[in-house]
Amino acid sequence: MTIACEILAVKIKANITATSMVLSQTECVEPCDTDVTITWTNTGGIPGTFEPAIVVNGTRTGAGYNQNVAAGATFSETFNLTALVTDTYTCCPDPN
């Protein structure tokens, strides 16, 4: 008896990272509202799931749901920052 050979494909795991972040404005007068649109890309070889989030001055705010992103695909989420007072705000995507 001869057993047929089998093929095993090992793919790169999902790798979801931020690839773009756009603020609708970079200066405003209080009380200030602005939108931050973040785009993430999965450069891995398989689909992956993550929670889109933004970190503003060290405080993380998630979208409240998990998003599935196919291999090679992108996903964008817009976060609304409202009633900002006079200060300087550091905005970062998460995951980054």
In 3D space, the residue among 28, 26, 43, 41 whose CA is nearest the CA of residue 77 turns out to be 41
Helix (H/G/I), strand (E/B), else coil: 45: coil
Alpha carbon 62 to its chain centroid, in Å, reads: 10
pTM of this structure: 0.89
Q: Match 């890309």 to its residue by tokens.
A: 41
**All domains in the chain, ordered by first residue:** 16-94 (2.60.40.10)
CA–CA dist 4, 37 (Å, integer) = 51
Q: Residues 2-54: pLDDT tens digits?
A: 999 999 988 889 999 999 999 999 999 999 999 999 999 999 999 999 999 99
Residue-level pLDDT at 16: 98
Q: Residues 12-22: pLDDT tens digits?
A: 899 999 999 99
Per-state percent for the chain, helix, strand, coil, to nearest 5: 0, 50, 50
